[in-house]
Amino acid sequence: MAYGRPYATPVAYAAVPVAYDAAYKLDAGDKLRIVIYGQEGLTNTYAIDAGGSITLPLIGSVPARGRTPAGLAAEITGKLRNGYIREPSVWVRVTRSRSARGEKPPAIATALSTVMLGT
């Protein structure tokens, strides 16, 4: 019995979806988390350079400026499918936007919510 309580209340964390701005247009200065499922060597965080592109292993430079995260994922998928990976599954999420320039940052795709178990 610690501090007069017979047991500590367990806490679980569950992913709760949050609104995501699917229309957000990428630009120089954005940082992206790009996950290519089953390809840990390609999964990484990438920054969009001043020219508006990102550079990935195998496929090189990919234009990102003006695309949505989903549009960029589709472009990367197409390039990887063209002779590198048979059925690539690509996910792109903005981890840091160019909010310093006054742009509205996109909402994060998931957030953690605390759920109390027991009383």
pLDDT tens by residue, the chain, 119 residues: 555 555 544 444 444 344 457 789 999 999 999 999 999 999 999 999 999 999 999 999 999 999 999 999 999 999 999 989 999 999 999 998 875 455 554 444 433 333 333 33
pTM strictly above 0.85: no
Buried b (16+ CB within 10 A) or exposed e, 27-63: bebbebbbbbeebeebeeebebeeebbbebeebeebe
What fold characterizes domain 22-116?
wza like fold (3.30.1950)
The pLDDT, as a whole number, for residue 111 is 36
Cα–Cα distance between 80 and 98 in angstroms, integer? 27
The 3 state secondary structure assigned to 82-98 is: CCCCCCCCEEEEEEECC
Cα–Cα distance between 42 and 71 in angstroms, integer? 18
Residue ranges of domains in the chain: 22-116
